[in-house]
Amino acid sequence: MKNKSATVWSTRFKNSTLKTLEQVGASIDVDKRLFNEDIAGSIVHTQMLVKQKIINKKRGKKIIGGLKKIRIEIKKGKFFFNKKYEDIHLNIEKRLFSIIGKDAGYLHIARSRNDQVITDFKMWLKKSSLNIIENLNVLIKIFLAKSEKNIQTIMPGFTHLKNAQPISFAHYLLAYVEIFKRDKKRFTNNIENLEECPLGVAALAGTSYNIDRNFTSKKLGFKKPTSNSIDTVSDRDFVLDFLSSTAICSMHISRLAEDLIIWNSDIFNLIKFNDRILTGSSIMPQKKNPDPAELIRGKAGKNFGNLQAMFTTMKGLPLSYYKDMQEDKNLVFESCDILMDSILITKELVKNLQPNKKRMLLLATTGYTTATDFADYLVQKKNLSFREAYKISGKLVNYAEKTKKKLDELNLNEIKKVNNDLNKDVLKVFSAKNAVNSKSSYGGTSIKNIKKMISKLKREFK
Ligand code: ARG
C-alpha cells in the first residue's frame, strides 16, 4: 500500500527529498496566509468542473464539503501545516485526501499550482489594497481634523531646513492630504491589473478540458480571464506594482516622521507629543523620545529593499514559471504589514501632537522670512522690477542683521534707508499673518484658501 504521507510526485522519485531541502523549499509558513483565497478558488474551480460535466455532481459536492471543513479547521487553529507538503496548495490537497479519500484527486483537473498561486495572490492583493485605501481614508480624515484646528496656527515654512516663509500649520497638514490622496490613487490604479483571473491557464499552456474560465473568473470577483497562458504564469508585474506603491507610501510616511522628529527636538521645539506615544530612556531620567516616529522612518527602508529584491528576482527570469517567484509572497506580506503598522502609528502621531503655537509664531518671522514679501511689495506698489526689488530687500536684510533686529522690529526710518519712497503702509508686510494671507494664489497658504480647501476636502472625505 502506498504511504499516505507521500508527496504527490513520489511515484517518479527513487529517493525522497532531502530534509534540508524540504526546510528551504517549503513556503507554507509564509503562504498559509492565502488559505482563504486558496479554498475559495478551489470551491469555484470545483463548481465549474461540475457545471462543465468534467466531474460528477456527487464528487463535486464531496470535494466542496471537504474544502469547507478544512477552512473551519484552519480558522479554528486546528490545522497542522506540514512543511513536507511545501505550500498551502498541497497542504490543503493532502488534507482533503485524508477527509474525503481518493475523490480529492479530481480537484486538480485542469489547473496547476502555477495558476492557482497567482489567483490566490491576486485576490489577496486586491483585498489588502482596498484595506490600505480604507486606512488611508481614515488617516486623511485625521489630518483634516487637525488642519481645521490649526488654520490660524502660523509657523515658519522651511526650505533647506532654513526658515523660508511664514505658512499656516494647516497648510502643511493639507500637503499630506494631497500626498495620501496620490498614494490612494496608486493602490486604486493597481486594482485594474488585479482583475484578470489566472485560474485555468494550468501549468503554462492552457488545458484540453472544456473549462469555463469566464465562470470561475466572475465567481471569484475578477472582471475577466487573462488572455495568454504563458504571460499569465510568468507575470509578477502586479507584485511589483504593489511593492512600489507600498514603498512610495512608506517613503511619504517616513518624510512626515522626519519632520515631526525634528520639530519635536529641544532645539526646534515646535511641537509636543502626548506621553502616550513617547518612550523613556533606561539611563537618562529626563528623556522622552519619539520612538514610534523613528520606527516608521526606519521601517520604510525595508519596503524599498523589498521592491528592489523583487526586481532582482524577476530581472533574469525566462518565461514562464520558476520557483524563484515563490519569494514574492514573503516580500509582499512584509511590506504590507509594515505599511499598515506605519499608517496606524501615523494616525496616533498626528492625533497626539500639540503645536507650540507661540514658538511657531516667533520662528515664523525669525530669519528674515518676510524679505520676499517686502520685495513683492516694492514690485506691486512701487512698480519696480522683481530683481531691483530683490536687491533692495536684500539690503534691508543686511541692515537688520547688522543691527541684530528682526524685520518686523525695524521702524519706518530704518526701512527708508533702503528706499526713500515709502510710508508706514509698508510695515504691514513684515507681519507673519499678513505674509500668510497675501499668498492667495490658488494652492497658496492664505487662510481664505485653506478654509475653502478644508471644506472641499471634508465633502470629499465624509
Ligand atoms: N508555492 C509555489 C509558489 O508560490 C506554487 C507554485 C509551484 N509550482 C511549481 N511548479 N513548483 O510559487
Q: What is the pLDDT of residues 187-222, one digit of tens each?
A: 999 999 999 999 999 999 999 999 999 999 999 999
Kindly list the catalytic residues. 160, 281
Contacts 24+ apart (CB under 8 A), 60-64: 62/100, 62/103, 63/96, 63/100, 63/103, 63/104, 63/106, 63/107
pLDDT confidence of residue 380: 97
CA of 121 to the centre of ligand 1 (A): 12
Q: Domain extents for the chain?
A: 15-109, 114-211+224-362, 368-460
pLDDT confidence of residue 2: 53
pLDDT confidence of residue 13: 85
- Among 11-25, 66-80, 126-140, 141-155, which stretch is predicted with the lowest mean pLDDT? 11-25
CA of 113 to the centre of ligand 1 (A): 6
pLDDT at 1 over 50: no
pLDDT confidence of residue 14: 84
Residue to substitute in 323, 325, 328, 333 for testing ligand 1 pocket (most ligand atoms within 8 angstroms of CB):
323
Q: What is the pLDDT of residues 163-191, one digit of tens each?
A: 999 999 999 999 999 999 999 999 999 99
CATH 1.10.40.30, applies to 368-460:
yes
pLDDT confidence of residue 7: 81
pLDDT at 462 over 80: yes
Q: For the domain 114-211+224-362, what is the CATH code? A: 1.20.200.10
Q: What is the pLDDT of residues 70-114, one digit of tens each?
A: 999 999 999 999 999 999 999 999 999 999 999 999 999 999 999
Whether the CB of 37 sits within 6 Å of ligand 1: no
- CATH topology for the 15-109 domain: Fumarase C; Chain B, domain 1 (1.10.275)
Q: What is the pLDDT of residues 255-313, one digit of tens each?
A: 999 999 999 999 999 999 999 999 998 998 898 899 999 999 999 999 999 999 999 99
Q: What is the pLDDT of residues 437-459, one digit of tens each?
A: 999 999 999 999 999 999 999 99
% of the chain residues with pLDDT over 70? 99
CA of 326 to the centre of ligand 1 (A): 6
